[in-house]
Amino acid sequence: MAVYSRRLQKELMDIKKEGTPVGIEVIQADDFAKWILSVEVLGDTLYKGEKFALMFRFDNQYPISAPAVQFVVDDKYQAPVHPHVYSNGHICASILGNEWSPVLSVVAVCVTIQSMLASCKRKERPPDNDRYVARAPDNPKKTRWDFHDDDV
């Protein structure tokens, strides 16, 4: 069994044994290629009562390489309106790029995204949303992000 599949198998076993943090649920984790988890921001936030879905796509370099992570945008789910989230679901977050660490897990990424949403001060799209979405690759990992604004 490859390293990435052993790691994902362990993460899934930990989730089944310990559960997920409040507001995070596994929707789909049938294989080691793609998982979908729901994220709900709790408390009195801009996103109160809203539920989002995060899709994780793994390659055989996981956990050395970050998974491709984006919000699901379909008939049931939409991407949150947030300064670091594009309307196609792509997320501009340094932990999904140059600050990725192999010690991070799927649940840790969900908690980080949940925290990013909870601390948001204004609901708005990134200023270049329309231009980016028109040219965006399917895989957000193929985007070269410019991480410059932590004050949202």
Could you tell me where the beta strands, DSSP code E, fall in 62-125? 68-71
Q: Cα separation of 109 and 67, whole Å?
A: 10
Tell me, yes or no, if 92 is annotated catalytic: yes
Q: What are phi and psi of 114, to 5 degrees?
A: -60, -45
The amino acid sitting at 25 is: E
Question: Tokens 């995204």 — which residue?
Answer: 113
Look at strands 34-40 and 51-57 and give their pairing.
antiparallel
Nearest to 141 by CA among 83, 69, 60, 85: 69
Nearest to 95 by CA among 126, 63, 132: 63
Sequence-distant (6+) residues with CB within 8 A of 125 are: 81, 82, 83, 85, 86, 87
Candidate list 39, 92, 117, 120, residue with the active-site label: 92
**Active-site annotation, residues:** 92
